[in-house]
Structure 1
Amino acid sequence: MTTTNILPTTRYEIRPPFLFRWEESQQAHVLLYPEGIVKLNATGGDILKRCNGKTSVAELIEQLGRDYHASDIDAIGKGVLNFLEVSHGKGWIRAKA
């Protein structure tokens, strides 16, 4: 598996053909694509909704730390980086140029 070089300044966006949205029937955020659907847990949805091409990884981690009232920002950061690496590996997101 290739590891992604995730820098604090990197800004990610959802990669076409994936479509990220809230799906009322699922009561969850989902990624839609021509072959199917990926239902995300709450944290995954909170991370991907910030992958808008404008929010840096550092800002994303800071925002989640605030939203989740985290006392250990390093633990939040590790979880976010892991999720971003997996999401990038699956082709869901790409670094914004």
Structure 2
Amino acid sequence: MNDIRALKLNPMFRLQWEVAQEAWVLLYPEGMVKLNSSAAAVLSYVDGQRLTADIVQALQQDYPQAEGLADDVAAFLQEAHKNNWVIYD
């Protein structure tokens, strides 16, 4: 994933807590993607200003007990980009 441009949530998707699902979801016109807590945490930092490295750094500050986040976060963001959930700003 090219880390010289910031990532943002694709405008076709909206990240929100869904009470009925008791989970964070990505809503889009055709449906919804139910996220696990890790995916929701990563996507909460995708704001059009942060690079992948910035997102990793923020998550490491929030979850200091978690080690080796960089590879997992980068892999998730690559998959999210393939699924068109996130785009380059």
Fold shared by both chains (TM-score > 0.5): yes
Match of 1:93? 86
- The 4+ residue runs of structure 1 with deviation greater than 2 A are none
- Contact 1:6–1:81 (Cα < 8 Å) also in 2: no
Residue number in structure 2 paired with 1:49? 44
Q: Where does structure 1 lack aligned partners over 5 or more consecutive residues? A: none
Residue 80 of structure 2 aligns to a residue whose secondary structure is: helix
- Following superposition, the deviation at residue 23 of structure 1 comes to 1.3
Q: RMSD of aligned C-alpha atoms?
A: 1.4
Question: Please, which moves more after superposition, 14-23 or 77-86?
Answer: 14-23
* Matched positions, count: 89
Q: Which runs of 5+ in 2 are unaligned?
A: none
Aligned counterpart for 1:21 among listed residues 16, 20, 26: 16
Shift of 1:16: 2.3
Query: What is the DSSP-based 3-state SS (H/G/I as helix, E as strand, rest coil) of the residue aligned with 1:53?
Result: coil
Matches within 5 A, 1:30-69: 30-69=25-64
Q: Judging by fraction of residues, say which structure has more strand.
A: 1
